Structure 1
Amino acid sequence: MRRALPIIAAIGLALAGCQQPAVASEKIVEAPAATRVAKEAPGLKVAVFAGGCFWGVEGVFSHVKGVKSAVSGYHGGNAATATYRQTNTGVTGHAEAVRITYDPEIVRYDQLLQIFFSVVADPTLRNRQGPDVGPQYRAALVPLGKEQRAVASAYLKQMQASGAWKKPIVTEIESYRKFYPAEDYHQDFMARNPRHGYIVRWDKPKVAGLKSLYPEHFRSSFLRDHK
């Protein structure tokens, strides 16, 4: 049985992070299919994506067929400051990120990139996503291994040349550093808090976009395994 959201944590959620005033809705942009297809050997693979508030990033990937695990956490800083309260100061170097484990025989890394930039992250925004502002909300790709890095690099160049976005692509590739899982109350946040104002306003439309654009990749049930 999952524990209830701690009172102190609840107060923190109300005051900082993933809670900024509402602004104009994020746009769903159908990103191009990758011309550089990932060549991945059989067996589960791991990748890290930073794309603003991790509730929505995890929420979308938890609805993707072939994703076996989605963990919200912090990437880019050190262990001492890998907490929600400290990360949201914007000075720790961390980005809110999600570590996913996926089966490339069901969904390849390049397909995950297409989904990510179509319905999760706006690649033209620097140090912000949606209503959330600060370096902790930067969009970044964190490939694990040479193949993922090659695919990510090629895809960013393809996106820039595609004309799908009117502004320059500013999302960058970051070298992998240790990933620190976020506090328990952040895991499966969308599934556990379906009526939360931020989820309704910002993240459910992303899942709807996934279902609309990529029905072949959409899983109606929410993956709750975040080990």
Structure 2
Amino acid sequence: MLLLPALAFGLWNRPAHAEEKPVEIPAPAIALAETGTTATAVFAGGCFWGVQGVFQHVTGVKNAVSGYAGGSAETATYDLSSTGTTGHAETVEVTYDPSVVSYGELLQIYFSVAHNPTQLNYQGPDHGTQYRSTIFPVDDAQAEFAKAYIAQLDATGLFGAPIVTTIEPLKAFYPAEQYHQDFLTLNPTWPYIVYNDLPKIAALKSLFPDAYRNEPVLVGTL
């Protein structure tokens, strides 16, 4: 994949790391009332390459866009957010059909295979607040639902450590640069992708076979 020269070195040298093991977890004990055929969920869980790739393989997802949330428009770039000083987290905006896949099911996948929710301000090899585990609810109903599900999962003890996922107001979502979109699909042999992200796709297929779609829904050109 062609990258801007100044960025190619940094992206290639994101260190590989032993993949995070998925955790089989229960579905939410309650359901969130959802209507219509289009809804939005916004998640941060480490490098957005893998999080985007996971949700692109979920049936009922219409689009999954990598981007930034938590900071201002002026600092919503890879170069600036990578400093960890902008308030942004690498984030994925998921557009989905709630008549096919619910917000609760997306949260179950998010906590189970998309990332490790017990790692504070890092995810695998990536360290800094820009890699924090955060849910950005689009409304109060999503916020309360996510809070209740975190409490439910913590009570199970399945993760072996407390969940550190934060719930932050969604001020705005800013799409990432084009070269970050569909990165997992376009670069399946990159060492970082092979070691950190392809196992997440395999775990999605194994743990959520009814939700798995073989052909990902891609962003294409923004």
TM-score over 0.5 for the pair: yes
CA deviation vs aligned residue, 1:62-91 (integer Å, no higher than 9, x gap): 000000011000100111111111111111
Task: Give the one of 56, 63, 67 matched to 1:62.
Answer: 56
Equivalent residues, number: 221
Task: Give the one of 5, 9, 12 matched to 1:11.
Answer: 9
- Partner of residue 202, structure 2: 208
Q: Does 1:130 align with 2:124?
A: yes
Superposition TM-score, scaled by structure 2 size: 0.95
Cα pair 2:18 2:195 within 8 Å, conserved: no
Structure 1: tracts of 5 or more residues without a match: none
Task: Please tell me the residue identity of whatever aligns with 2:202.
Answer: A
Aligned to 2:146, the other structure's residue is in SS state helix
Q: Report the alpha carbon displacement of residue 165 of structure 1 after superposing the two structures with TM.
A: 1.4
Q: Report the alpha carbon displacement of residue 150 of structure 1 after superposing the two structures with TM.
A: 1.9
Structure 2: tracts of 5 or more residues without a match: none
Cα pair 2:44 2:135 within 8 Å, conserved: yes
Task: Give the one of 69, 72, 95 matched to 1:75.
Answer: 69
Q: Does 1:221 align with 2:215?
A: yes
Q: Percent identity?
A: 52
Task: Please tell me the residue identity of whatever aligns with 1:85.
Answer: D
Aligned to 1:59, the other structure's residue is in SS state helix
Q: Does 1:40 align with 2:38?
A: no
Q: Report the alpha carbon displacement of residue 8 of structure 1 after superposing the two structures with TM.
A: 2.8
Superposition TM-score, scaled by structure 1 size: 0.93
CA deviation vs aligned residue, 1:80-130 (integer Å, no higher than 9, x gap): 111111111111110000001000000000000000111012111110111
The alignment's C-alpha RMSD in Å is 1.4
Q: Report the alpha carbon displacement of residue 223 of structure 1 after superposing the two structures with TM.
A: 1.0
CA deviation vs aligned residue, 1:179-211 (integer Å, no higher than 9, x gap): 111100000001111111111110000000000
- Partner of residue 25, structure 2: 31
Q: Report the alpha carbon displacement of residue 23 of structure 1 after superposing the two structures with TM.
A: 3.8
CA deviation vs aligned residue, 1:6-61 (integer Å, no higher than 9, x gap): 3333233235xxx13x3443111012110021210122001110000000000000
